[in-house]
Amino acid sequence: MATESAAATPGVAVGPEPAGVLLIDKPAGITSHDVVAAVRRILHIRQVGHFGTLDPFATGVLPLSIGKATRLAQFYLKSRKAYRGTIRFGFATDTYDATGAAAAEPVECHPQARDVERVFAEFTGRIKQTPPPFSAKRVKGVRAYKLARRHEAVELEPVEVEIYALELLALDGPEAQFAVECSGGTYVRSLAHDVGRKLGCPAHLASLRRTAVAEFTESRAVTLADLERAAAEGATANVLIPLEALLPDCPALVVRGREEQDVRHGRSFELAQALRADRGLGPGMAGHAPAITLLKVMNGERRLIAIARRVAGNVYHPDLVLA
C-alpha cells in the first residue's frame, strides 16, 4: 500500500483533508495502482492507498484509504473477501487466468455439475494453496512474475488459506459460474486451476468480480466517473465511508477531558476506570471487557481518535493515535 504526504494543488481551495474509505468499482483493464493515481488526481490529495489489490483483468470492490484512513490498513490485511467468477474448462494458461497463454492444446471437457460440486466441497475449509507463477510473491528476493516472464523456473511454497464457502451457480458447457468467500491471501486463479486438475480437466479463471472485502460490499461502490461528478459538485463526503464507521465489530469507548489527552499522548489506560454506562461502550461489554482485543476510542464529539489494543488484564494501549 502506497502512501504519501498530502500536497496542495495550485488553484484548488485548501480545506479540511478528507479522511475515510472510498469504495471504487474497479473496471477491467487497469491496475489497482492506476485507480489510486486517478483518485489522487480527482481529489487533489496524495495520501491514498488501498486495502489489497485486484488483478488488472478483475473488476469490483477496491477499498481505497483516504487521508488518515491509510493508517488503518493494518487492520484489514487479512480480511475476508467474496468473489463471483467463471471457470473455463478445456485448457489451462500460464497465468491461470484469461490473460495468459494456453499451456497446452485445448481439449473437449464438459464436466457434470455433480462432479464440480464434489470437487468444490473438497476445496472448502483450510487448504494448502500454491500461488500462481505470475504473482507478486518473492523467490529469493525477486517477484515471481518477473521470473515467469523470463521463462525461469518458479517454485513457490504452498501457504494455508481458508475457503469459507464455494458454490456452483451455473454450468453451461465448458464454463462454470461460481461464488466464493475466502480468507485474505487466497488466489482465486490458483483455485480455478486446481479445481481443473482435480477434475482431470485443464481449466483457468475466465472472469472475476470481487463483491466484498470485510464489511465493504459492492452496493456501496462507485465508479471513477461517479467520483469525478461528486468531486465537481463538492459532494465527495457523500461517497466516503467515515473513519468512525470502520471496524464495525470493534466496540467503541468515549473519552473526555484528561482521559482524552492521555489517549492522544499514547498513554496506556485501564478500562475498568473508564467503563461507565454513559461512556459510549457497546451493550453487553460489562463483565466481558478483558476479552476485547481492540477498542475504537472516540472523543466527546464521537470522532475517532485512536485504536487501542489490550495488553494485559484491563489495560489497553493506544496502538494507533490519529492526530
Q: Helix (H, G, I), strand (E, B), or coil: what is residue 83?
A: strand
- What residue type is assigned to position 109 of the chain? C
CA-to-CA distance for 291 and 287, rounded, in angstroms? 9
Question: Which residues are bridge partners to 304 per DSSP?
Answer: 298
CA 147: distance to chain centroid?
26
**Phi–psi pair at 231, nearest 5 degrees:** -65, -40
Tell me if residue 319 is catalytic: no
CA-to-CA distance for 178 and 263, rounded, in angstroms? 46
| Cell numbers 483516504: residue | 66
Choice among 25, 55, 97, 194 that is catalytic: 55
Number of residues written out for the chain: 323
Long-range pairs of 102-108 with CB within 8 A, sequence gap ≥ 24: 103/202, 104/202, 107/201, 107/202
Cell numbers representing residue 173 in the block? 458447457
What is the C-alpha radius of gyration for the chain, rounded to an integer number of angstroms?
23
Q: What is the layout of strands, in order, in the sheet containing 304-312?
A: 252-254, 294-298, 304-312, 315-321, 269-270
CA 18: distance to chain centroid?
20
Q: Of 150, 178, 186, 194, whose CA–CA distance to 55 is shortest?
A: 186
CA-to-CA distance for 2 and 33, rounded, in angstroms? 9
DSSP 8-state secondary structure symbol assigned to residue 78? T
- Specify the DSSP element, H or E, that contains 115: helix 113-122
CA-to-CA distance for 204 and 194, rounded, in angstroms? 9
Annotated catalytic sites, by residue? 55
